[in-house]
Structure 1
C-alpha cells in the first residue's frame, strides 16, 4: 500500500481571501474551498499526513514584493492560512519559491515518513502547484492532482496548467478513489 500525504498549497488570505492582494479567480474560490476541505477531512479520517505549505516572502525582497503586490509577506495578515480552510494537524512548511521542495525540510519529512504519493491541492495551478508537482515527479513521487481542488488566475490558465500536469505524468483526476 502506498503511503500518501495531502499537500495544501498556499491557501492563504492574500490568494483566496475576500481582500486578497493576488487573488485566484473569485469564481473558483467556493468550489476550491469545498473540495480542499473535503480532502482534509478524508485524509484526517484515514490518518494520512496533511501538510500545509505556505508562501512567506521576505519583507526585504522589495522588487519581488512589488511584483507580487505585497502578497504573503512573512508576518503579514495576508500570509496567514485563510480561516475557511480546515486545519488538521500542525505540519506547516514555509517557502519563498514556487516549489514546496524549495524548503528542504519538506523532502526530509516525506522521506522520514515513507511518503511515496503526494496529492496536491491549492493555488496557483499554473504556478506553485505545477512547480511542486513537477519537482515531486522528478524526485520519484506518484503525484495526483484533484482538478477541482486547485485554483488558478482564471479558468484558461488553470485548464492549461492541468493539461501540462497530465503531460508531465501527474494523475489529474475528478475525485480520489
Structure 2
C-alpha cells in the first residue's frame, strides 16, 4: 500500500448479485449491468488498499425480508437473493477472495441489524467507499447511516453505482453530495492519494 491512510478505508460492494444485475434477475436494476466493469475495476484497485464485501442474502422462506417484499417468497417459489440460489451469487467477474469480508445484509442499509459498524470500528476503519446498486435504496440508506455514524470521508464512486434510470441516479448523487459525500468518478478515485 502506497499510503497507510487506505488501511483505514473500506470498500462496500452493495448488491452486485445476479438477481439485481442480470436481465432475468428477480430484482433487476436497469442501470446495473452497465456499471459491472467499473465495479470490478474498483474492487481490483481496492484490494491493494483493503476491502470488505457486503452481500444481500435472504432466508429462502423470506422470513428476514422487508414486509413489503414477503409476497415474493411464497411456498415453492425461490425469492430474490435467496441463500444458495443462483440469484444470490455475485455477478460474473466479482469474487470474494481471501482477505475480503462478507457481510450478509437483509435490509437497504448495510448497517441496519448487522454488525458492520462494530466490525469496522474494531478494524480501525473511519472512511468508506461505496459501489453497487441501487442508488435511491441500498446505496442511499447505507450512505446516510454511515454519515450519521460519523464515517469520514464517505465516498460514492459515481460511475460504479447505478439506479434504474440516470435521472434517478443523478438526483440521489446530488442529495448525497449535499450532506458532504464525495462523488468522484472511478478514474478520479484511482488517481487520488488518501
**TM norm structure 1:** 0.87
- The match for 1:97 among 107, 110, 116 is 107
2:134 is the counterpart of 1:131: no
- The match for 1:43 among 42, 46, 50 is 46
Separation in 2, partners of 1:168, 1:66: 35
Unpaired runs of at least 5, structure 2 = none
Once the two structures are TM-superposed, the CA of residue 88 in structure 1 deviates from its matched residue by: 3.7
Instruction: Quickly say closer, same or farther: Cα 1:158–1:64, change in 2 above 3 A.
Output: same
Unpaired runs of at least 5, structure 1 = none
> Any conservation in 1 of the 2:62–2:79 contact (CA below 8 Å)?
no
- The match for 2:24 among 8, 19, 24 is 19
Separation in 2, partners of 1:172, 1:78: 29
Separation in 2, partners of 1:36, 1:88: 15
Instruction: Quickly say closer, same or farther: Cα 1:109–1:96, change in 2 above 3 A.
Output: same
Alignment partner, residue 60 of structure 1: 62
Q: Which has the higher helix share?
A: 1
Separation in 2, partners of 1:65, 1:11: 21
Once the two structures are TM-superposed, the CA of residue 86 in structure 1 deviates from its matched residue by: 4.3
> Any conservation in 2 of the 1:10–1:53 contact (CA below 8 Å)?
yes
CA deviations on 1:36-60 (whole Å, 9 max, x unpaired) are 1111111112xx3211111123323
- The match for 1:10 among 15, 18, 38 is 15
* Higher Rg: 2
CA deviations on 1:84-108 (whole Å, 9 max, x unpaired) are 2243434100011110012432112
Tell me the matched-pair count: 173
> Any conservation in 1 of the 2:108–2:138 contact (CA below 8 Å)?
yes
RMSD of Structure 2 on Structure 1 (CA): 2.1
Once the two structures are TM-superposed, the CA of residue 33 in structure 1 deviates from its matched residue by: 1.2
> Any conservation in 1 of the 2:105–2:114 contact (CA below 8 Å)?
no
